[in-house]
Structure 1
Amino acid sequence: MADSRTVEVRVGRIGRPHGIRGELTITPRTDEPDRRFAAGARVRDAGGRSWTVARSHWHQGRLLVSLDGVDDRTAAELLRGVELYADVPGAETPAGPEEYWDRQLVGLEVRDHAGTPVGRVRGIAHLPAQDLLEIAADGSIHLVPLVAALVVEIDLDKGFLKLADVPGLMG
């Protein structure tokens, strides 16, 4: 059965204007900026103002976006620092296999190698080297690298993930 709900996700932060025609630099806050800022996509700020993406492209490693109604540098400058959000279908999945969004993992029950519940995923820490699961268990937070050697199973439908049999993994 398809999930018809939508989920609000933060997709980017507007930086400085680029040029004189209202183009904006965007710092992506999503793993899929080309998907979230595709022409025709809708984005909004926390106050409810919304825009349609007219076009986007990468230039020297920066995402440049034109929003309908933002037609000059002055209008673009007024949006500097604004966080952008989008509604995405709740059932939408990441483009790559074995990839997950934070919202899919947060709240999952964490089980040890034998299947015994040991905690819950509280958050994900995105570090340069790797992502870490923040697992709440026994009144403390345990950090576990989100790698296949340590997280051996993720079952979103059943609401759990299973850890490898590694001594000291959970403290």
Structure 2
Amino acid sequence: MSTEDTTQLRVGRLTKPHGLKGALKLELFTDTPETRFVPGAEFTLQVPETSEWHGKTLTLAELRWYNGHPVGFFEGVLDRTGAESLVKAILWVDQDLTELPDEDDAWYHHQLIGLRVERDGVPVGTVARIDHLPAQDLLAVATPSGEVLVPFVSVLVPSVDIEAGVVVVTPPAGLFEELVDADTDGPTDGDANTTDEV
């Protein structure tokens, strides 16, 4: 497979050592750790250039769960000192661009970046990136007046059409201020779409 057919996906971050035998707690950026974090899985590391791990890869020996938290054991990381040298490292994997996620209503980042974002059939911007937060993901939309962050939940992002290149958003009134101002001659979006569930 050529490099043109693959992209790099961020799948996790090493947060802190666990125990004395080189294990590290993980923050997962994937919904399918059972397929991403299998023994022998190899990760490209994002670390500072000054790190001894810069330019190296890390191979998983085992993934365990302790009190609901994932903990990784990696080849060549044998003690707590070694684990401490990897704290804050971000793990990346190669992903085949032709493959889709196994779960429904799921997309890889590279599929979303650059898609046109529409509200009520009117283009409002393009997808700049997806931010991962503990509570939920945020869709960063680049608009002519600046960046708007939309919670990536179905009630606010009801439709993603990869083939058409369109993401439909139904944000609450005020999130895209320039559109709210443009609607002052008629019923506002808030009047038309008021909901107690948002």
- The answer to whether TM tops 0.5 is yes
Residue 27 (str. 1) matches residue 27 (str. 2): yes
Corresponding residue pairs, total: 168
Aligned partner letter, 1:53: L
Which one has the bigger strand percentage? Answer: 1
What residue number does 1:6 align with?
Answer: 6
Distance 1:15 1:146, change over 3 A: closer
Secondary structure of residue in 1 paired with 2:34: helix
Residue 100 (str. 1) matches residue 107 (str. 2): yes
Query: What pairs with 1:28-107 in structure 2 (closer than 5 Å)?
Result: 28-46=28-46, 47-107=54-114
Q: Name the % identity.
A: 38
Higher relative contact order (CA 8 A, sep 6+): 1
Secondary structure of residue in 2 paired with 1:45: strand
What residue number does 1:132 align with?
Answer: 138
CA contact (8 A) 1:144 1:170 kept: no
Aligned partner letter, 1:141: E
CA–CA separation in structure 2 for the residues paired with 1:51 and 1:165: 41
Which TM-score applies when normalising by structure 1?
0.77
1:135 positional shift: 1.8
CA–CA separation in structure 1 for the residues paired with 2:171 and 2:22: 54
Distance 1:16 1:127, change over 3 A: closer
Name the stretch that deviates more: 81-90 or 71-80.
71-80
Which one has the bigger helix percentage? Answer: 2
CA–CA separation in structure 1 for the residues paired with 2:107 and 2:116: 15
After superposition, what is the alpha-carbon deviation per residue over 1:100-142, rounded to whole angstroms, capped at 9, x for unaligned?
Answer: 333322211112333x433111223445554332222232223
Name the stretch that deviates more: 57-66 or 30-39.
30-39
Which TM-score applies when normalising by structure 2?
0.69
Larger C-alpha radius of gyration, 1 or 2? 2
